[in-house]
Amino acid sequence: MSLPKRGGEMIAIVSVLVGLSLVATMMRAWARLKRRVPFGIDDYLCFVSMFLLLVMEVELCLWVTIGGNGAHQSDLDLQTLMNFSKIFLANQFTYFLLCPLIKISIIFFYRRLFTMKPFHWVTMGLTVLISLWGTAIFLACALQCRPLKAYWDKRVEGHCFDSTKFIIVNQAFNVLMDFVILALPIPMIWNLQRAWQDKLALNGVFALGIFVCFASIYRIVVLFWMDPSDTTYTVYQATLWTHIEPSIGLICACLPIIRGLFPKLKLASARRYTKNPYYINTDISTSHFAMSSPKSPASDYYKMDECMISRATSGSNEHIPSANNYLGPRDIAVRTEINIHQDSASMKSHT
């Protein structure tokens, strides 16, 4: 069958997003290698998520070419309609695996940054909740029809529950978790002893996740636009946003690590803060964010101004050359010379 116009549009849009996600993932890996930081659980989960995202794009290409996605249902034969349902089911399995992995990856990234015990207890509970929900949804997807063959072959007698309501319930949970994950680091960041401009910049990175929340909500809306009498044509928006949501989510998960490749980026702010990079060290595996400590992650990025230390002497001016690569304390040598002169009047008095 010929490629439907809508199908071609979906493949083009999704390919761009998946390509950006792949670039972001590769830059994340390069940032870790360049800064000689070992890969953590959050990195490995992102790599698995990228693989699943590529699998979803392959499924989309098959869904359009042999499944009739984007074409009117009345124009498709029985075999194409069966292919449509098979790939639709496979797409659900991949999506139900992908979304929890991205969320858990972001949570483990938080755990690398903030090592306070209360925060770790909260994030661990959230990780367990998302894992259990993802497992339950995956099993429910496998059991939505008995036998499962009845999902794509309407000639088989079986019992199936409403798949649309099932997807909406899962999406509502995703929206809730997206907002919780987005709000988790905000109190931690605003409690840092940093300039408000720095804190605003830090929140700006995490605030990109707002678009993921919007995508999750909008995906619920477009599910109501599907017409059971012409599912292959009206599923266009649902299919598109099913791929947009995890793609943007994966890019947002990689952005804080990618920023480590650009240490010279600074936030234009008040004069006293213009010398300081506006990002925090996302490469370390442990930190307590005690900003007064010399080992705090933010202090690693403070740059001392290069200066010339000079000392005046009676005969000449000696200059100490500035050490461009030296960031430690400098010794200031102070030398005082006292010249004692005896006038002629005092000498006569002694004689």
Residue 176 belongs to domain with CATH number: 1.20.1070
Within a domain: residue 297? Answer: no
Q: What is the pLDDT along the chain (351 residues), one digit of tens a residue?
A: 577 888 899 999 999 999 999 999 999 999 999 988 899 999 999 999 999 999 999 999 999 999 999 999 988 999 999 999 999 999 999 999 999 999 999 999 888 888 888 889 999 999 999 999 999 999 999 999 999 999 999 888 888 888 888 999 999 999 999 999 888 887 777 676 665 555 555 565 566 678 888 888 998 899 888 888 899 999 999 999 999 999 999 998 898 888 777 765 544 444 443 343 333 444 444 443 433 334 444 433 333 333 333 333 444 444 444 444 444 444 444 454 545 455 554 444 444
Tally of domains within the chain = 1
Within a domain: residue 188? Answer: yes
User: What is the maximum span of the chain, computed from C-alpha positions, in angstroms?
Assistant: 135
Cβ neighbour number for residue 139 with a 10 Å cutoff: 11
Q: Is 125 helix (H, G, I), strand (E, B) or coil?
A: helix
Q: Is the pTM of this model over 0.75?
A: no
Within a domain: residue 303? Answer: no
Within a domain: residue 331? Answer: no
By C-alpha distance, which of 219, 247, 227, 238 is closest to 88? 238
- Rounded Cα distance between 103 and 86, Å, is 27
Within a domain: residue 285? Answer: no
Preceding peptide of 147 cis, ω within 30°:
yes
Domain boundaries, position 132: 5-261
Cβ neighbour number for residue 133 with a 10 Å cutoff: 17
52 HSE (CA, 13 A, CB side): 24
Cβ neighbour number for residue 62 with a 10 Å cutoff: 16
Query: What pLDDT shows up at residue 195?
Result: 59
Contact of 234 with 69, CB cutoff 8 Å:
no
Within a domain: residue 289? Answer: no
* Neighbouring residues of 49: CB distance < 8 A, sequence distance ≥ 6: 98, 101, 102, 105, 246, 250, 253
Within a domain: residue 334? Answer: no
Within a domain: residue 245? Answer: yes
